[in-house]
Amino acid sequence: MYKQYYHRVFYTALKVTKNPCSAEDILQETFIKAYDKLEEIKDENKVGAWLSTIAHRKAIDLIRKEKRAVLLPIEEIPPSRTVEECSDVECICEQRCLEEDIKKRTLMLSPKLRAVFQLSYYKQLQEKEIAYNLKISPAAVKSRLHRARQMMKGTLEKDIQHSSTA
């Protein structure tokens, strides 16, 4: 059953969440629920539709849960933990998804904003150190960091709104 309906369930979840990591989680949860309820299947021709419905509902539940989540400013996100510091697979996956998302959003910044943001977030340099490295004034660093954070926050809010209306 898993091999036969894997793609259908995955793409149902992906359509709703717009996030491959979340779609994988929903895929797993869908098949776990299906396994628990296997004896309730009366018409084997409708298994695909049944699985898709489960995946769709779980994806909507996830989006509702994320919508209620408190958004932290980017500078308050805890520094990335290494794989060795994570105790389980779920933790590792969450860390990788978060890092990929931040990298993706960072690439959308202009080169000037990206340089300042990367030095602040990844290298954890202070504003004075960033100013020295980039040969710009501390005021310019502060301004660019503010604009970069605002842009990152704006793209995140747009993605959340988009996923909740989908």
6-31 tens-digit pLDDT: 999 999 988 888 888 888 999 999 99
163 pLDDT above the threshold of 60: no
Distances (CA, A) of 153 to 7, 17, 138: 32, 19, 22
144 in the same domain as 91: yes
123-155 tens-digit pLDDT: 889 999 999 999 999 999 999 999 988 888 777
40-84 tens-digit pLDDT: 877 888 888 899 999 999 988 888 777 655 455 555 555 555 545
**What is the span of the domain harbouring residue 28?**
2-68
100 in the same domain as 161: yes
Domain count, the chain: 2
